[in-house]
Amino acid sequence: MIRVVSWNIARRQEPWRELARMARRDEADVALLQEAGSPPGELAHLLPREDDVFWSRHLYDRWCLVAGLSGRVRVERFREVPPISYLGEGDVGVSGIGTIAAARVVPHENEEEAFVAVSMYARWMKPHPSTRSSWVGASDVSAHRIISDLSAFVGHTDPSKHRVLAAGDLNMFYGATGHSLSLPERERTVWARMEALGLEFLGPQAPGGRQAASPPPDVPADTRNVPTHYPPGRSPAEADRQLDYAFASRGFHERVRVRALNDVDEWGASDHCRLLIEVDTG
């Protein structure tokens, strides 16, 4: 069993130490991070070299990262390059700065069970100034770029030939029906494109996490969403919004389980909770 943690750590330092503690307790092997920032000095070895990306990390400070946490796996990071037509064996094309990081995760005990792991962060993107729009932005713009980049790992019409795990913060409200939270018609196209690529939606959904006492507006009363984020001025106990999700290749997804570590006493040191993803490697 390989344990993967997906977590938006909001550029904070303490989550890095929490991940290190999880690794020491044999609770985590790989981290898929969003808004990673830089780790504290004693954990600087978890940050890839500057030449692993084609853009400067000084240009954008909320990048994604795939980090190996245990000796049970080998993490072979793909170098981020512009989305050119012909990628090198060790490259991944990235359409939006800071939106994805990808790596091949190889279990030492069974290398044939290797899979591609992708950390996703759908950044808010403001409309062009010419629109004169008052919108703060929309995350589906970044999400569609992420999906286009993910599609490079899909090379067959049969999804079972792929072993891709993708997780992270999409800044979207699954199942939303109204516009007070999001742009639901546009966001539904994100889930539709994931399905078309053969990537199954894994949630997490209840019972894979604590549900909110009261769901946010414009989400059906029978939603199975589990809160993974709380806004400024609130606490984990008041969290009611799910923004973090996981997907896996159809067929491979049957060996993947995901749940939100969103109980108040297990939330962690970020405004997002952790997703714990367990991959059965036989």
Residue 53 has pLDDT above 70, yes or no: no
CA distance 74 to 62: 25
pLDDT score at 88: 82
**Structural domains in the chain, sorted by start:** 2-279 (3.60.10.10)
Model pLDDT for residues 201-215, shown as the tens digit of each residue: 999 999 999 999 887
Closest listed residue to residue 4, CA positions, set 108, 117, 111, 106: 117
Average pLDDT over residues 232-257: 94
Residue 241 token pair: 């919004």
Q: Which of 203-211's residues contact partners 24+ apart within 8 Å by CB, and which partners? A: 203/245, 203/246, 203/258, 204/245, 204/246, 204/258, 204/259, 204/260, 204/275, 208/257, 208/258, 208/259, 208/260, 209/259, 209/260, 209/261, 209/262, 210/260, 210/262, 210/263
Average pLDDT over residues 237-244: 93
Average pLDDT over residues 15-25: 91
CA distance 221 to 194: 25
CA distance 218 to 262: 22
Residue 276 has pLDDT above 70, yes or no: yes
Least confident of 8-22, 79-93, 227-241: 79-93
Average pLDDT over residues 234-246: 93
Residue 81 has pLDDT above 60, yes or no: yes
H helices of 78-151, where? Answer: 140-150
pLDDT score at 54: 53
Average pLDDT over residues 209-226: 87
pTM: 0.92
Residue 64 has pLDDT above 80, yes or no: yes
Q: Name the pLDDT band for 94 (thresholds 50, 70, 90).
A: confident
Percent of the chain with pLDDT over 70: 93
Q: Name the pLDDT band for 74 (thresholds 50, 70, 90).
A: very high
Which of 33-42, 54-63, 64-73, 154-163 shows the highest mean pLDDT?
64-73
